[in-house]
Amino acid sequence: MFKCEYPKFIRRNRPAMAKKTSQESSQVSDEVRLKERVAERRSAGQKAGADPSFRRLVKRLKRAQRLRRRLALRRLHASGKKKAEGAGKTAGAGSAS
């Protein structure tokens, strides 16, 4: 009978999962670099509305921040209710001592 080779092709060329950590760290470093550049321009007295390149820089920073927050929420929701409750109970018990 005819066999389809398509699923094997997908499995062989799937990217490795270990790349996530390096990608996350690069996103964080990119956000830090953007923060520094925005802070430099703000200290120089520029306003985002006046200079299009500065406005573009601020938008990139906000986009990176939204991405980081969105991923953090996704991780929190993926961890499940029981893990979050257990962490909350242990933190509450430790602070009461």
What distance in Å separates the CA atoms of residue 41 and residue 54, rounded to the nearest whole number? 8
The pLDDT, as a whole number, for residue 45 is 86
- The domain segmentation of the chain, as residue ranges, is 26-76
Cα distance from N-terminal residue to C-terminal residue, the chain: 70
Comparing C-alpha atoms, which of 54, 16, 17 is closest to residue 37?
Answer: 54
- pTM recorded for the entire structure: 0.55
pLDDT of the residue at 17? 52
Q: What is the pLDDT of residue 97?
A: 43
Angle at 25 between CA 32 and CA 69, to 5 degrees: 70
CA distance 65 to 58: 11
All residue ranges of the chain with pLDDT < 70 are: 1-24, 27, 83-97
